Structure 1
Amino acid sequence: TPAPTLTLTNLTFAYGPASTPVLDHLSLTLPPGAHLTVVGPSGIGKSTLTALIAATLTPTGGGVEIGGRAAPDATAHRVLIPQEAYVFTGTLAENLTHLCPDPVPEDELWAGAEAVGMAGLMRTLGGPHAPVDPAALSTGERQLIALTRAYLSPAPLALLDEATSHLDPAAEERAERAFAERPGTLIVVAHRIASARRADRVLVMDGANTAYGTHGELLESSPLYRDLVGRWSAASS
């Protein structure tokens, strides 16, 4: 059997010796192909969790393994798409294939762009070989380019940390569905309830009191999740 895509073992993190831990002995195993959404109040540590998985932060205690490797040794096995999407000056194709070790045929670039919902933007910009001026792009356009870059990468674990925050709900759904259907495992830090409904499992972060289950299970068992769902539903109606 293949190694779990992600294993968190007693994962603990605090920003200082006297600080309350943001994560406190969190253990979680995600099999290949899993689709997890992470939710919780603002500032609770959702981005801290993705940073620990991406090894841009070091745990205070416990560990992170990706595909059986310690997180710092698993760079090629994961791709993190943060809220602030990075696009560099160059051609669109150079941006989209930045994480691909091998050349990507043009038809695959178009297929990836089509899946994520970026093909219209690619046509507007003049095709894959058109130059890109990051300053001339909207925040949402930069997010679409970063999402397509991650989609085309060979990394089996994709981490979307509010990576669709500047897309409208329909565009967000299209991008998330593309990643869910992509081979590999998907973790989405969500800012809309629809993301949680689309996932196999949801992790509710609340300091030491994390809850884990399906959307339906958590509606019954987690008061915080019910509260978040109610607030999100009210905001979108």
Structure 2
Amino acid sequence: MSTLKITDLHVSVNTETGPKPILNGINLEINSNETHAIMGPNGSGKSTLAYSLAGHPKYQVTSGTVTLDGEDVLAMSVDERAKAGVFLAMQYPVEVPGVTVTNFLRSAKTAIDGEAPKLRHWTKDLKSAMENLRVDPEFASRNVNEGFSGGEKKRHEILQMEMLKPKFSVLDETDSGLDVDALRIVSEGINRVRETTDVGVLLITHYTRILSYVKPDHVHVIIKGKVAEEGGPELAERLENEGYDRFLQAPA
């Protein structure tokens, strides 16, 4: 079993007027085979947590620790974090002109594992994963995210997760902008990876609709850069009914 442990994490973002504190002491512990939903209103720090774990240079960790099986994640470069098993599905995936999906995925897998996957098995697995995600076979020869619809971009993120098999997947608002059919297909992909690997999932969202498909083991509510409440799936149900007003109206 692997463990991703976040202890008293404080993070600031660089702005034109100087550093602005966003995270104010986050504590989380995620194990393999667990799904943790991170919820909260816009601007609460959810995406800042995601990008800080991945090593985005815009976000400066001012104090606290992040460890993966005891190893210091914050001391790792971005590529070292990926090799250690940390995967980020971005809320707004970027276009990579001139690089096809199939070349991108195989190059990423080779970089992470230190050797190229066997071509026959890789091609078979990629075809199967694309079929499960209802992706047209021509998708593999298209440039990464270039001209993709919102739904195609999110399916590509889950395709990466399925092919790269990380230890921990941070999914930043993967449900954002998806219609009902696309949400169901993407959720099925997440569940398929959960069922076939030991992945731990950090699912970031401010809506509860994806949690109807991807059942979390734990739910954490982040308000103003802190974990304001924790619980099980029942907490997500309460948020669906009540929203975040009771947190936002509470004294800081």
TM-score normalized by the length of structure 2: 0.74
Equivalent of 2:130 in 95, 110, 113? 113
Answer yes or no: is 1:79 the counterpart of 2:90.
no
Contact preservation (8 Å) 2:95, 2:146: no
The residue type equivalent to 1:35 in the other structure is T
| Residues 172-181 or 64-73, more deviating | 172-181
The alpha-carbon distance between structure 1 residues 18 and 225, as it changes in their structure 2 partners (threshold 3 A), is farther
Contact preservation (8 Å) 2:219, 2:233: yes
Answer yes or no: is 1:174 the counterpart of 2:188.
yes
Q: Deviations over 1:66-119 (max 9, x none)?
A: 23221242331111111112343333311333420222521110222234x1xx
The alpha-carbon distance between structure 1 residues 42 and 18, as it changes in their structure 2 partners (threshold 3 A), is same
Answer yes or no: is 1:211 the counterpart of 2:229.
yes
The residue type equivalent to 1:122 in the other structure is D
Q: Deviations over 1:103-136 (max 9, x none)?
A: 2521110222234x1xx3233x2x64x3437443
Q: 2: distance between equivalents of 1:25 and 1:229? A: 20
Residue 163 of structure 1 aligns to a residue whose secondary structure is coil
Instruction: Structure 2 unaligned segments of length 5 or more: list them.
Output: 111-115, 246-252
Contact preservation (8 Å) 1:95, 1:149: no
Percent pairwise identity = 19
Contact preservation (8 Å) 2:9, 2:61: yes
Residue 121 of structure 1 aligns to a residue whose secondary structure is coil
More strand by share: 2
Instruction: Structure 1 unaligned segments of length 5 or more: list them.
Output: 231-237
Compute the displacement of 1:157 (Å).
Answer: 0.9
Instruction: Determine the structure 1 residue equivalent to 2:67.
Output: 65
Instruction: Determine the structure 2 residue equivalent to 1:97.
Output: 106
Residue 146 of structure 1 aligns to a residue whose secondary structure is helix
The residue type equivalent to 1:212 in the other structure is E
Equivalent of 1:194 in 209, 218, 228? 209
Q: Deviations over 1:31-80 (max 9, x none)?
A: 11111111100011100111121122332111111232212423311111
- The equivalences for 1:17-96 within 5 A come to 21-56=21-56, 57-72=59-74, 73=76, 74-76=81-83, 77-88=85-96, 89-96=98-105
Contact preservation (8 Å) 1:9, 1:62: yes
Instruction: Determine the structure 1 residue equivalent to 2:143.
Output: 132
Instruction: Determine the structure 2 residue equivalent to 1:145.
Output: 156
Compute the displacement of 1:21 (Å).
Answer: 4.3
Contact preservation (8 Å) 2:40, 2:206: no
Runs of 4+ in 1 over 4 A off after TM superposition: 16-21, 217-220
Contact preservation (8 Å) 2:104, 2:144: no
Contact preservation (8 Å) 2:101, 2:144: no
Q: 2: distance between equivalents of 1:45 and 1:143? A: 21
**How large is the RMSD of aligned CA atoms in angstroms?**
2.9
